[in-house]
Structure 1
Amino acid sequence: MKFNEVLENVTTYEAGKPIELVVREYGVDPKDVIKLASNENPYGTSPKVTAKIQELAKNMFVYPDDSMYELKEALANKFDVESTNVIIGSGSDQILEFCVHAKCDKNSKILMSKTTFAMYEIYGKQTGSQIIKTQSHTHNLAQFSALYKEHGADVIFLCLPNNPLGECLDKDEVYKFLEEIDKETLVVVDGAYQEYASFKDEKKRIVPKDLITKFPNAIYLGTFSKAYALGGMRVGYGIGNPDIIKTLYKLRAPFNITTLTLAAAIEALKDEEFVNSCIAKNFEEMKRYEEYVDAKGFKYIPSYTNFITILFADKFVSKEVAQRLLEVGVIVRDLTGYGQNAIRITIGTKEQNTKVFKMLDEVLEKLK
């Protein structure tokens, strides 16, 4: 059977390995598995959200409010924008997909960093677009600017902070770059980890209202999957000028998120105290990772997220380290596929991290 030929060049996104796989393949007791590969919030969901879901579970047979009025109003109030500036998606990656399909075809060009969220390239290739990447693994705006001047672009992706590496540009340098960009180019600012970056360093904070007012061709994306601990509920949002949002709605299927997802996101926005507490503990524990890596003589990328990227240089092979950890029940992300001899570890709880350090010590000793 023949399919769309552009799909021949599309790779399948590889998600973090699930706990069930480790239990099934390596015989590890489920309670002993530590999953630190998908950047989930290790402290779980706000108890207020859990209570609301339990209360509303009886309504699962009812379609959700397809206008998503209450959630859009809550986000509009949070970010001081209008509800017409907001679109809701099944995770922010669904809105990434909308952005690409709204702008791109086989004659289009998409500009991104060499190492960044894999779905940018996957969605781009689905449309047959030409993918243009910087030489630098991290976001280098001088290289972005040079490539844009040489090739142009229909869409530019900026991941702030960047997944899977963790670095983050300052807002001022981002804005200076955006001043060079033609208004017909859609700039997607992916703020999936912005809650972490802005907590750690105010210079990294991207304010959606400010962004879309200064740059009407930009759209800001956020998610409830990370700091708000709703990864299993799949809900994200985009904030842009009404013309962009109206166009993206033409790509949205009805009822693209669930009744319970809507309720969870609305409730999560009411418990900022819980979110801020999780973020504060995240950076306290990240210091322990930085000290551990320093003591081992490795390098790490200073992170503005809820994960840390550890670079092994020529001391160890990251794929081997990740596999050995997997076999003892610690799930991390190997970055070999991104051209990096590195692993990415989600920052877990204090207890989890203490166990990870012990397991990592044992693995590294065996691999010497």
Structure 2
Amino acid sequence: MKFNSVLENVTTYEAGKPIELVVREYGVNSEDVIKLASNENPYGTSPMVTQKIQELAKNMFIYPDDSMYELKEALANKFDVNDKNIVIGSGSDQILEFCVHSKCNNDSKILMSKTTFAMYEIYGKQTGATILKTPDDEHNLEQFSTMYKEHGADVIFLCLPNNPLGECLDKEDVYNFLSEVHEDTLVVVDGAYQEYATFKDEKKAIDAKDLITKFPNCIYLGTFSKAYALGGMRVGYGIAQEDIIKTLYKLRAPFNITTLSLAAAIEALKDEKFVQDSIAKNFEEMKRYEDYAKVKGFDYIDSYTNFITIKFEDLYSSKAVAQELLQRGVIVRDLTGYGVNAIRITIGSNEQNTKVFKVLDEVLEKLK
């Protein structure tokens, strides 16, 4: 059977390995598995969300409010924008897909950092677009500027902070670059981890309203999967000028998030204290990983997210380290597929991290 020829060059996205796989393949008890590969919030979501889901479970047979009025109103209040500036997606990556398909075909170009969220390239290649990547792994705006002036682009992706590495640009530098971009280029500012970056350093904070007011060709993306701990519910949002949002709605299927997902997101926004407390704990625990890396002589990327990237250079193979950890029930992300000899570790709870350090010590000793 023949399929669309552009799909021949599309690589399937590989998600973080699930707990069930480790149980099946390595015989580890499920309660002993520590999953630190998908940047989930180890502290879970607000008790208010859990209570609301239990109350509404009986309504699972009913389609959600497709206008998503209450969630849009809550987000509009949070970001001081109009509800017409908001689109809701099944995770923010669905809105990434909308953005690419709204602008791109096989004559288009998409500009991104060399090492960034894999779905940017995957969605781009689905349209037949040419993918342009900067030479450096981390975001380098001088390289972005040079490549943009030379090649142009229909879409530019800026991941702030960047996944899977964790670095983040200062807002002032981002704005300086955006001032060079033509009004017909759609710039996607992916703020999936912005809550963490803002907590750690105000210079990294991107205000969605300010962004789209100063640069009408930009769209800001956010998600409930990280700081709000609703990864299993799949709710994301985009904030942009009304003409962009209207276009993206032409690509949105009806009822694209569930009744329970909608309710969970609405409730999660009511408990910001819970979110801020979990972010504070995240950075307290991240300091332990930084100290561990220093003791072991490993480089790490200063992270503005809920994960840390530890580089092994020529000391160890990240693939071997990740595999040995997996066999012992600790799931991390090997970045070999990105061309980086490093592992990305989601910052777990205090108890989880203590166990990780112990197991990692055993693995490094074995692989000496």
Question: Secondary structure at the residue paired with 2:164?
Answer: coil
Residue 177 (structure 1) aligned with residue 174 (structure 2): no
CA distance in 1, matches of 2:331, 2:272: 29
Question: Share of identical aligned residues, percent?
Answer: 82
The aligned counterpart of 2:165 is 165
Amino acid at match of 1:263: A
Q: Deviations over 1:85-108 (max 9, x none)?
A: 000000000000000000000000
Deviations 1:223-266 (A, max 9, x none): 00000000000000000000000000000000000000000000
Give the paired residue count. 368
Residue 76 (1) aligns with residue 76 (2) = yes
* Counterpart Cα distance in 2 of 1:262 and 1:337: 34
Structure 2 equivalent of residue 207 of structure 1: 207
Question: How far apart are the structure 2 equivalents of 1:108 and 1:264?
Answer: 37
Q: Which runs of 4+ in 1 moved over 4 A?
A: none
SS at match of 1:305: coil
Supply the AA of the counterpart residue of 1:219. Answer: I
Question: For residues 309 and 329 of structure 2, what CA distance do their matches in structure 1 show?
Answer: 19
Q: 2:264 corresponds to which residue?
A: 264
> Which letter maps to 1:316?
Y
Instruction: State the AA in 2 paired with 1:207.
Output: D
Shift of residue 52 of structure 1? 0.2
In 1, Cα distance between equivalents of 2:172 and 2:35: 36
Task: Please give the alpha-carbon distance, in whole angstroms, between the structure 1 residues aligned to 2:219 and 2:143.
Answer: 22
1:45 positional shift: 1.3
Q: Which amino acid aligns with 1:170?
A: D
The aligned residue for residue 64 of structure 1 is 64
DSSP-derived class of the 2:95 partner = helix
Q: Aligned partner of 1:33: which letter?
A: V
Distance in 1, Cα, partners of 2:273 & 2:51 = 16
* Aligned ranges 1:98-247 → 2 under 5 Å: 98-247=98-247
Q: 1:248: which partner in 2? A: 248
Measure, in 2, the Cα distance between the counterparts of 1:48 and 1:353: 27
2:176 aligned partner, one-letter code: K
Task: After superposition, give the CA deviation of every residue in 1:325-347 in whole Å (9 maximum; x if it has no partner).
Answer: 00000000000000000000000
Amino acid at match of 1:256: N
Distance, in Å, in 1 between the alignment partners of 2:335 and 2:273 is 33
Q: Secondary structure at the match of 1:220?
A: strand
The answer for the alignment partner of 2:284 in structure 1 is 284
Distance 1:330 1:66 in 2: 40
Distance 1:131 1:226 in 2: 27
- Give secondary structure in 1 for the equivalent of 2:324: helix
- Matched residue, 1:332: 332
Q: 1:265-322 CA distances to partner (integer Å, 9 max, x unpaired)?
A: 0000000000000000000000000000000001000000000000000000000000
Query: 3-state DSSP class of the match of 1:246?
Result: helix
SS across alignment from 2:345: strand
Code of the aligned partner of 1:249: Y
Aligned-partner Cα distance in 1 for 2:77–2:229: 21
Q: Could you list the per-position Cα deviations for residues 97-149 of structure 1 after superposition, in whole angstroms to 9, with x for gaps in the alignment?
A: 00000000000000000000000000000000000000000000000000000
In the TM superposition, what whole-angstrom CA distance separates every residue of 1:149-199 from its partner, at most 9, and x where no partner exists?
000000000000000000000000000000000000000000000000000
| Whole-Å separation in 2 of the counterparts to 1:32 and 1:270 | 33
Alpha-carbon distance in 2 for matches of 1:57, 1:25: 33
Letter in 1 for 2:172: D
The alignment yields a C-alpha RMSD, in angstroms, of: 0.2
CA distance in 1, matches of 2:364, 2:29: 22
Amino acid at match of 1:39: N
Q: Supply the AA of the counterpart residue of 2:128.
A: G
Q: Distance in 2 between matches of 1:314 and 1:270?
A: 47
Partners of 2:245 and 2:54 in 1: CA distance: 32
Cα separation, 2, equivalents of 1:202 and 1:144: 23
Give the Cα separation in 2 of the matches to 1:136 and 1:271. 39
TM-score, length basis structure 1: 1.00
Alignment of 1:27 with 2:61, yes or no, is: no
User: What SS does the aligned partner of 1:255 have?
Assistant: coil
Q: Measure the CA separation in 1 of the matches of 2:341 and 2:59.
A: 48
CA offset at residue 73 of structure 1?
0.4
- What amino acid does structure 2 have at the position aligned with 1:117? F
Q: What amino acid is the match of 1:154?
A: D
Unaligned runs of 5+ in 1: none
SS of the residue corresponding to residue 99 of structure 2 reads: helix
Paired residue type of 1:261: S
Whole-angstrom CA distance in 1 between matches of 2:34 and 2:244: 41
Q: Structure 2 CA distance, aligned partners of 1:11 and 1:252?
A: 24
1:320 has 2:315 as partner? no
SS of the equivalent of 2:300 reads strand
Q: Which runs of 5+ in 2 are unaligned?
A: none
Query: In 2, distance between residues paired with 1:45 and 1:77?
Result: 21
